Structure 1
Amino acid sequence: MGANGAADLTIRTARQQDGPELARLDRVSWSWLSDVVPQPGPDAELFDERRPPEHFLVAESAGRIVGYVHQGPATPLASNRHIRQIQGFVVDPEARGRGIGKALIEAACDRARADGIRRMTLRVLAHNAPARRLYERCGFEVAGVLPEEFWLDGAYVDDVWMGRWL
């Protein structure tokens, strides 16, 4: 990592026992800036049949989990198997600004490439400028915009589709 980054940052595949900590990160990171569903409750489960631990990469620093990225198939179709989609991404608010997000996104792209995936896609809310800047720094480009796709916190918000060739 850089001079102000987490020198001890480790990125690994999630384990079943990480579920409660990742769910906690979801709760403390929740915001209408990045989320389209209400804040998860204290008993919310993160892992399920559609989101198994092996679809998650977690970032650890100083012995604690500081973020995760969830990637999965863009659709269940065999004809779309060459595409993977980032479907969840969180960095602990207390650990932001240290390069952890970029490291997680790059690790997800590296994992997908190693799995033979050709393209990584994601969706981001148009008003989430910090996330959009991060994705652009990681090589993602806007592929399309769904105008006023969501009504969030009293305003219509565009849904921006982004992608990157691997």
Structure 2
Amino acid sequence: MKIVVRNAQKQDGKGITEVLNPIIEEGLYTVLDMTFTPKEEEVFIEQFPIGGVFNVALDNENNTILGFQNVEPFASYTKAFAHVGIIGTFVDSKYRRRGIASALFTATFKDAKAKGYEKLFAYVREDNPNALKTYVSQGFEVVGIAKNHAKVNGRYINEVLIEKFL
């Protein structure tokens, strides 16, 4: 399997939802609690912030989306946070631990720096130690815990706040 990372395109909507929706349905690795249609994802891609980064990882042999990662501006209501982005990472459960997240991080860090980001920030579910380990292995540091920050399926979830300076 040869992994290629490139910018997300409108036609990736279906492939992205095929990665994302099973993760949402599992209810274990994200605070997202509603699935998306391919059309909704296409609209999301079309309306993605110009200053953001949205990458997909593909199996180059069969053009299948294996995962994706995006960075959105932290806050648009002030320029004080213009250097900070919120990062999210999703990898198809069938393809985890095969270097997909690492390939995404490499490309996304490069793209984010080129767009002027100096710091990336994320919230990781406290009950998702594998995701936290992945982010830490990429140089993120834990800066705090937001207690009962999310409520998924009636259950409160703490989120670990992490950051990385680029």
Equivalences, count:
159
Q: Does 1:57 align with 2:55?
A: yes
Aligned to 2:32: 37
**1:120 partner amino acid:** L
| Aligned position for 1:14 | 8
Instruction: State the 1:130 CA deviation.
Output: 0.6
Residues 66 and 92, structure 2, Cα contact 8 Å, conserved in 1? yes
Alpha-carbon spacing, 1:41–1:71, altered in 2? closer, same or farther (3 Å): closer
Distance in structure 2 (CA, Å) of the matches to 1:42 and 1:114:
31
Secondary structure of the 1:45 match is helix
Find the aligned partners of 1:137 and 1:43 in 2 and give their Cα distance: 32
Runs of 4+ more than 6 Å apart: none
Identical residues among aligned pairs (%): 28
- Unmatched 5+ stretches in structure 1: 1-5
Name 1:84's counterpart in structure 2: 85
One-letter amino acid of the counterpart of residue 132, structure 2? R
TM-score (norm 2): 0.85
Shift of 1:109: 1.4
Question: Residue in 1 aligned with 2:18?
Answer: 24
Q: RMSD between aligned alpha carbons? A: 2.1
How far does the alpha carbon of each residue in 1:103-131 deviate from its partner, in whole angstroms, 9 at most, with x for none?
21232112111222111111111111110
Aligned equivalents of 1:14, 1:95: Cα separation in 2: 19
Measured after TM superposition, the shift of residue 52 of structure 1 is 5.6
How many Å separate the matches in 1 of 2:101 and 2:13?
A: 19
Task: Check whether the contact 2:49–2:72 (CA below 8 A) recurs between aligned residues.
Answer: no
Higher helix proportion (structure 1 or 2) = 2
